[in-house]
Amino acid sequence: MDAPTKLLLFMAALLTCVGCAFSATLCPNCGVTPVPYPFSTSPTCGDQDYKIRCDAAGTLQFDTLNSSYPITSINPALQRLVIKPSSFLPNTCITSDLVHQGLQLNSSLPFNVTSSNTIMYMNCSTTILGSPLNCSSASLCHVYINDTRDRAQCEEPSASICCTFKAGGSTNSYMIRVREGGCRAYTSFVNLDVSQPLDRWPEPGVEIQWVTPREPVCGSQADCDGNSTCGVDPSESGVRRCFCKSGLSWDPVEGVCVERLTCQDPSGCGGSSGRTALIAGLTAGIGTTLIAATIAILLYKRHRRIKEAQERLAREREEILNSGGGGKAAKIFTGKEIKKATDNFSKDRLLGSGGYGEVYKGILKDGTEVAVKCAKLGNTKGTDQVLNEVRILCQVNHRSLVGLLGCCVELEQPILVYEYISNGTLLEHLQGLKFGGRGLLTWSHRLQVAHDTAEGLAYLHSSAVPPIYHRDVKSSNILLDEKLNAKVSDFGLSRLAHSDLSHISTCAQGTLGYLDPEYYKKYQLTDKSDVYSFGVVLLELLTSQKAIDFNRAEDDVNLAVYVQRTVEEEKVMEAIDPMLKEKASKLELETMKALAFLAMGCLEERRQNRPSMKEVSEEIEYIISIAKSEAAKI
């Protein structure tokens, strides 16, 4: 599309919004600083999920879990803001937020620390040397403290360990951690050009991005403007939003409903006569060509900024894919290959969808069947999860883990390509939703699924370097192939267990019914959190019941609580799936009981009382050997 056509389309887009009211109320300026949508400085303006604070001095403040930081800039087009890092305590190499263990974002809110930050950790203890931080004498951090007078106290022998951390494409971090016994000071620079001398470095800052806001929440039609209708949100139970009327679409940057442009022809819309008519209409609509051109140029620049941000994200994704280290090599697919494989993302190829995006069945040029996962366009957290999955799967390769074949970096949203597992999920089989119902999953099949899954998780915990915590182990994330072999999938929430960066998220994430209660209370992630979740999966295999089911008695809604009660009452066999017990031998019934007690061991409230996944895998293998000895006799 040529430049004049771009300008005309931008001006046309502007005209469609002339006179349209805001679907959301903008907040007033904070001092002289505008507060762009979706930010909210009071309960009556902006989006309440995007709260910031205007202090008495007229400065915008970004509140974290335990502290507050001044906002130095906001870029609505790129959905990013910069905050000023914590200051140093007088005459020390200690940041004032050490008492709060550094900058800690609430991971349940739509904000995260971006990969554009180069972080300098200072005054570190020797325990940090085993981490992935660059703590060598040649690290960028040493350049910083050696050439900066006000950081001279960080050069003292007692505070001389200084490390540099560059996220390297990671866009899913929720904290910059400082603590006693680790590093006690930090600072950060956004988009740092290391080729520049120190006196040309930018002011310290931490860049934070936010998720694209949804349509405003409403109680009734009175809360919406004339361009939107208050309706039930199908993706959030009990929530109503101001949805744009037909022909209009939500602009999350401006917080308005705008008219959709129907022209999709990349070479331009219509011939020269149509263009002349459009120019005449634009001239009549805005009064003067000069005003129209000025506005168009501003919009064109905004478009360029957005495009540059998208290109930057594509580079980050490619860097992640190419940094897999010792794991499985993955291919970079072109956008054309992906569209052809999925029949241009045909709804007939849709395998499933979730909060992150959608999964399609694809067929490559050589006939290979694949699963194609696409993050939702504009959904930053969904994008983060897909990018995180690339980073995890590029480092592992095990028969019980779903295989990553590659990804596409050309299209706007991140796209992953996996091996296609044809037989659905464990949850579908247990609930009778797949291939004739749960009757196909015999007791021997269920034991094998349990062992395959345990082996895959044990590999993540004990053989991957560094160890990996899955964080979302559940029956819907266990795929079965045509031989009913199990493969663990969906690594969007997984985390690498680096020695000083293991507690990446400060708030528990996962699925209700599978969450480790100690993780939920202490916000500390370990391998035993996966063990707890796997214990719930074992109960599902034994009972064929859901982890959370409101059709059970009020006290038994949670499956773990329900089975625990039957154990305490010495009636555990009453909870076992009747279809399993119906034709089971005496020895098979004993193996069912043994697996139930193993599950209860995984579900111990205190982490230290739970077995490791390696021990769980070995115990299931022993139970299988007993079951096979019975089969051999028959």
Note the pLDDT tens digit of each residue in 584-601. 889 999 999 999 999 999
Q: Which residues contact residue 95 at a Cβ distance below 8 angstroms, ignoring those fewer than 6 apart?
A: 85, 86, 87, 88, 89, 102, 178, 184, 185, 186, 187
**Highest mean pLDDT range out of 197-211, 230-244, 519-533?**
197-211
Q: Is residue 60 within 8 Å of 68, Cβ to Cβ? A: no
Q: How confident is the model at residue 133 (pLDDT cuts 50, 70, 90)?
A: confident
Digit-coded pLDDT (tens) for 52-66:
999 999 999 999 988
The pLDDT score that the predictor gives to residue 271 is: 46
**Highest mean pLDDT range out of 232-246, 290-304, 315-329?**
232-246
Give 565-570 contacts, CB < 8 A, sequence gap 24+: 567/596, 567/597, 567/600
Alpha helices (H) in 497-609, listed in sequence order: 517-522, 527-543, 559-568, 578-582, 586-602
Q: Nearest Cα to 403, choosing from 530, 315, 491, 511?
A: 491
What are the DSSP calls for 94-117, one per residue?
A: -BGGGGGTSEE--TTSSEEE-TTE
Compute the distance between CA of residue 315 and CA of residue 205 in angstroms, rounded to an integer. 22
Say whether the peptide bond before residue 213 is cis (omega within 30 degrees of 0): no
Active site residues: 472
Say whether the peptide bond before residue 467 is cis (omega within 30 degrees of 0): no
Q: Which residues contact residue 458 at a Cβ distance below 8 angstroms, ignoring those fewer than 6 apart?
A: 612, 613, 614, 616, 617
Q: What is the residue whose two structure tokens read 């719930």?
A: 536
Of 220-224, 516-520, 538-542, 611-615, the range with the lowest mean pLDDT is 516-520
pLDDT at 280 over 70: no
Digit-coded pLDDT (tens) for 185-212:
999 999 888 888 888 899 999 999 888 8
The pLDDT score that the predictor gives to residue 35 is: 94
Q: How confident is the model at residue 82 (pLDDT cuts 50, 70, 90)?
A: very high
What amino acid occupies position 377? L
Alpha helices (H) in 233-288, listed in sequence order: 272-286
Compute the distance between CA of residue 477 and CA of residue 305 in angstroms, rounded to an integer. 38
Report residue 137 as tokens. Answer: 């004498």
What amino acid occupies position 594? A
The pLDDT score that the predictor gives to residue 115 is: 77
SS3 of residue 200 by DSSP: helix
Compute the distance between CA of residue 296 and CA of residue 301 in angstroms, rounded to an integer. 9
Q: For residue 593, which phi and psi values (nearest 5 degrees)?
A: -65, -40
Compute the distance between CA of residue 450 and CA of residue 145 in angstroms, rounded to an integer. 53
| Cα dist from 313 to 54, 147, 310, 460, whole Å | 31, 32, 5, 28
DSSP state of 55: -
Q: How confident is the model at residue 375 (pLDDT cuts 50, 70, 90)?
A: confident
Q: Is residue 85 within 8 Å of 96, Cβ to Cβ? A: no
Compute the distance between CA of residue 574 and CA of residue 591 in angstroms, rounded to an integer. 15
- Tally DSSP H helices, then E strands, for the chain: 14, 27
Helix, strand, coil content of the chain in percent (nearest 5): 40, 20, 40
Q: How confident is the model at residue 501 (pLDDT cuts 50, 70, 90)?
A: very low
Report residue 165 as tokens. Answer: 């951390």
pLDDT at 14 over 50: no
Q: What is the residue whose two structure tokens read 């061991």?
A: 601
Q: What is the residue whose two structure tokens read 């895998």?
A: 617
